[in-house]
Amino acid sequence: MKNDSLILEEFLDNAFNLKLHLMEFFSMKENDLDGFLANAKINLASLHPGDALSNVSDFYTDIVGDRHVADLAAWHITSKNYICDTLKLQQRFSRDLVLDFGGGIGTHALANAMSSKVEHVFFIDINQTNRKFVEYRAKELGVEKKLTFCESIKESQISKFDTIVCLDVLEHLADPASQIDVFSEIMDFNSVALFNWYFYKGEKNEYPFHIDDSAIVEIFFKTLQSKYIEVFHPILITTRAYKKIK
């Protein structure tokens, strides 16, 4: 186990060996890595079929392939200070049984697994490439015993979590209100959930896969306000901590 400052230092230094893991997992040479990461955001956006997509989840299961890994890796490397703040935030709250919903390339799940305050992390992601990539990373980092990989929360067979991490995911779901409803059912009154959201497709449609329908967003905020109470923290304003209302 590592102390909190060392975990942050290692993330800032090499994003938990992210580049090496990408090269090994995707059998890529160092020269090809730049191409894999360059323009990852535009490449991911260009894959989205727009209104032709009838089921939101299909984008993540059938269409993105390894492009979402590339997009998330490029983002975690170029915005490392922001991501580091989200790690600092989870260090403040994470304990015991942790659910990381929509865990992506695993930065948060891996950091939580390295923490002595965390007993076990359930990494949930609908995308199989993401799950396999993070499973590989966990083994490389020696934290695989503290992680379980699932496609859905149900598959985890856990009825109560002490910490829920759901970062940069809610805007990717067809019904974000139902998702936070589900989260409230698997929380105790002492559990803490970390949420952020970006219900916006971007100025130039850079995020065509984000939900921005005002009716869906309104139901989301009504649900949030009826089920949760915010827990103040001074770390970053885009990501909020919540307990469920008694």
Ligand X SMILES: C[S@@+](CC[C@H](N)C(=O)[O-])C[C@H]1O[C@@H](n2cnc3c(N)ncnc32)[C@H](O)[C@@H]1O
Binding site for ligand X (CB under 6 A): 57, 60, 68, 72, 102-104, 107, 124-127, 130, 167-169, 172-173
The nearer residue to ligand X, 31 or 55, going by C-beta atoms, is: 55
The nearer residue to ligand X, 97 or 126, going by C-beta atoms, is: 126
Smallest distance from ligand X to CB 31, Å: 26
The nearer residue to ligand X, 178 or 190, going by C-beta atoms, is: 178
Smallest distance from ligand X to CB 84, Å: 12
Q: In sequence order, what are the residues at sequence separation of 6 or more whose Cβ sits closer than 8 angstroms to the Cβ of residue 198?
A: 168, 171, 207, 210
Smallest distance from ligand X to CB 215, Å: 20
Nearest residue relative to ligand X (C-beta): 104
Smallest distance from ligand X to CB 105, Å: 6
The nearer residue to ligand X, 99 or 187, going by C-beta atoms, is: 99
